[in-house]
Structure 1
């Protein structure tokens, strides 16, 4: 987004929220004090920074979000179908387990899109007996503040739960979490026991685990750069006096496992693990053309 903003002739300042609401709120407050032209939050639960958003809107500064699932009135949001991803991943795990899915869901308590999207999508699908009569789920919660904690982090919690309950045969969370869960499970011998994992994001290290036949068996990829340019497109529209465009269900996602990863052309596989999945479409050129900006 910063690169595209620069191409337009704008100045973009990036503030790292560190996954902490107080840090994100301070960044928003500072942006209001600086009298910026627009504010964008990415994967921030707006309810936790509402004071800053209200102050920005009151000052006439438009606010935009990525991955907030249209939670806040008067704040245009761009997201992909994270709830649908959760449902489809649940279907995948039911299929691969032969209808005998005993799932451990590692629920992050900070990222709104993961909570009401991927986690809730899987949970809702699997809680309906008609979808899988023999399926069960167990949920453990963890926060970003304890991400690397040797006792409270998702890797430690998942490893302990999987060892305590041999009936659990699948575990799921987004990829940064799943990679650490996979490492802990390998050390505990759980991968050899047959425990399998499902993740979201298709990060390079997770794709490598899938390819070598490790604990993680599948991941969902979404084109983050496409999403970010869609947000910037709405910034341009609103600051130009137009209405934001509704990108709901307009941006695709893709599920990858070992089988279809093996069928990817070499250049597409390299793209997936270096810059991320791009949806098999040159969206950058289209956005730049729409904005009247020369592609860099």
Structure 2
């Protein structure tokens, strides 16, 4: 299976703001007072799409619907994932107001682009039992090596992760990841803020994995698959340096996509390691990151579907 794609689905926001329902366990979110955050988020979104398209990444942009009042619709990777066998997975969401983001009519846009959908695997009924697994926010998929890295949290249930792995034939790599919030260690809400797996390397904040055995196990899997490790600090993670995604642009060129804030937090050594394999593409996402508590990777739902 391919690890990276040249096509992403992105959702342009119409009601973006700090989501009070997700703030209970997303410690990255902050309120920005006195700004039209939706308008500013739209400007950041549009500039980001333009940058991606300028290097040849295919971007399928769909518009959110105002009546749904979905502040986090800009982060579609949490409710859907697209797979090479033509299957789509739909995921159960922790926040009730995020469940309205699941819009199956978006798939018609992909079919218009020539993609083939063979089946929808729907895990959303788990919401009835307060069980959640938030897509490729919770799951870092090493598609090539068929491994799913997952930091357990209120938004990532172990049993449902194992069910996903059985359905899609992945090996689960399970651990706990924490960040310091007001002097206490709290579970990180999504794996994809502390870890990114690219074709040749992995960016990871090892300091978040407090248990030595779990840390050793994660490292064992990454080394087994010959990933060069780029280790970031917890401080860098808070600048969204773990929230990155490798994509393919024109002429088969690889890009590591991240926010400007994440890019600026990296050391020259870390940048040099990344640039051995990928050009860095960064964009200013300050309002989206501050209010939404998610960054560049969260905005990109990778499309791996086969062409019809």
Please say which structure displays the higher CA radius of gyration: 1
| Structure of greater relative contact order (alpha carbons < 8 Å, 6+ residues apart) | 2
More strand by percentage: 2
More helix by percentage: 1
TM-score of the superposition, structure 1-length normalised?
Answer: 0.30
TM-score of the superposition, structure 2-length normalised?
Answer: 0.29
